[in-house]
Amino acid sequence: MVSAGEAMLELDGLRGTVLVVAPHPDDESIGCGGLIATLRRREVDVHVVIMTDGTGSHPNSPSHPPGRLAAVRAGEVLDALAILGVAGGAVSFWQLGDRFVPDEGADGFEGAAVRARALLRVMQPSLLVIPGRADSHGDHRAVWAIWSRAAAELPAPPRQLEYIVWPRPDAAGEGRPVTLDIGAVLALKRRAIAAHRSQLGLVIDDDPTGFHLPDDLLARADRPQESYFEARP
Helix/strand/coil (H/E/C) assignment for every residue in 177-196: EEEEECHHHHHHHHHHHHCC
146: left (phi over 0), alpha (psi -120 to 50) or beta: alpha
Q: What is the dihedral sign for C-alpha 44, 132, 50, 28?
A: negative
Cα(101)–Cα(52) distance, rounded to whole angstroms? 8
Return the percent helix, strand and coil in the chain, to nearest 5.
40, 20, 40
- For each of the chain's 233 residues, which pLDDT tens digit applies? 445 557 999 999 898 999 999 999 999 999 999 999 999 999 999 999 999 999 999 999 999 999 999 999 999 999 999 999 999 999 999 999 999 999 999 999 999 999 999 999 999 999 999 999 999 999 999 999 999 999 999 999 999 999 999 998 776 667 899 999 999 999 999 999 999 999 999 999 999 999 999 999 999 999 999 999 998 65
Q: What is the dihedral of CA 75, 150, 114, 37, to 10 degrees?
A: 20
CA 20 to chain CA mean position, Å: 6
Q: What is the pLDDT of residue 1?
A: 41
CATH topology of domain 13-220: Rossmann fold (3.40.50)
Q: 45, 61, 22: which is closest to 196 by C-alpha?
A: 22
Cα(20)–Cα(129) distance, rounded to whole angstroms? 5
- DSSP character for 104? T
* Distant-in-sequence, close-in-space partners of 200: CB < 8 Å, separation ≥ 6: 194, 212, 213
pTM for this predicted structure: 0.95
Q: What is the pLDDT of residue 172?
A: 67
- How many Cβ atoms from other residues are within 10 Å of residue 45's Cβ? 16
Q: What is the pLDDT of residue 233?
A: 52
Cα(11)–Cα(178) distance, rounded to whole angstroms? 11
Q: What is the pLDDT of residue 14?
A: 92
Alpha helices in 55-199 (DSSP H): 66-84, 109-123, 138-152, 186-194
